[in-house]
Amino acid sequence: MKVRKRIRWTRFVAVILFFTIMLGAGYYFLGGKIEEHGQAENIASDKARFEENDDSGDVIEEVMTEEEEEEEEEEEEEEELENETVALNPDGKYIALTFDDGPSAKVTPRVLQTLAQHDAKATFFMLGSRVEMSPNIAAQVVAEGHEIANHTFSHPNLKKLTHNEMTEEINKTNKIIEAATGVTPTLFRPPYGIYNQDILNYTTSENYTTIMWSVDSLDWKSRNPVAIKNEILNNITNKSVVLMHDIHTATAEALPEILMALKKEGYEFVTVSELLSLKSEKVDPYFGN
């Protein structure tokens, strides 16, 4: 009897142990699957969030597109400028008005206003020292479609300077003009119209075109509106480069009548670069080199 009870008890314990082992194994196996599934879901979820937030490809594409558009716009603007220059009729009547020694806070705005009223373009040979004092006016000159050029920093006689002093006068002015207007001048006019071969060699090596003039208004001498007007009208010819100064009140006062008189004679007013673009125009140290 005791033996049977002992056998039954042993079987009972064995069954309990068997089910305990099976239950533990099942839990371990099932838990591992659940954990693997959870990890897979987490990985998939993280990947989805990363892909959702990762718009670097789109951003790069947009930046590249904007850069391409800007480059295309710049190319179109350059082409338009080239077309405007080439559009001049070699047989047309053109004059390049030039103004030296500015900008002047008092006179240059008056000159710009008159030019705008007569749809006339001009070239301004500026001093770096004056651009430093009136950078906003220099920027206005460019904004209104006129050409801006280099006339040294302090208006010295360049022949009396050392080579390094001469180059500093020119280079310093170009940097100042570029900072004020965003434009790098390519035209240069030596003060007093005085130059030598060293100056020409340097400006040529730096890709400047040295510009002189063919008609001097003598506004610096007369300071008289009537005298200035007569000096120009009596000496003007087709494709002239006219020298004036936008630092004299008399020049601003004379300009309206000068423009009206020349327009009646059929002249159009262009920049120096536009005038020099005419292939029939002779280019030498007098006009430019």
**What residues are labeled active site?**
100, 245
**Separation CA 150–CA 155 (nearest Å):** 11
**Separation CA 76–CA 228 (nearest Å):** 40
Q: Are 98 and 213 in contact (CB under 8 A)?
A: yes
Which whole-number Å values give the CA distances from 100 to 29, 126, 155, in the listed order? 93, 6, 10
- The count of C-alpha atoms lying within 13 angstroms of the C-alpha of 187, restricted to the half-sphere facing its C-beta, is 26
Which whole-number Å values give the CA distances from 54 to 42, 46, 58, 63, 67, in the listed order? 18, 12, 9, 15, 21
Tokens 């008399």 -> residue: 250
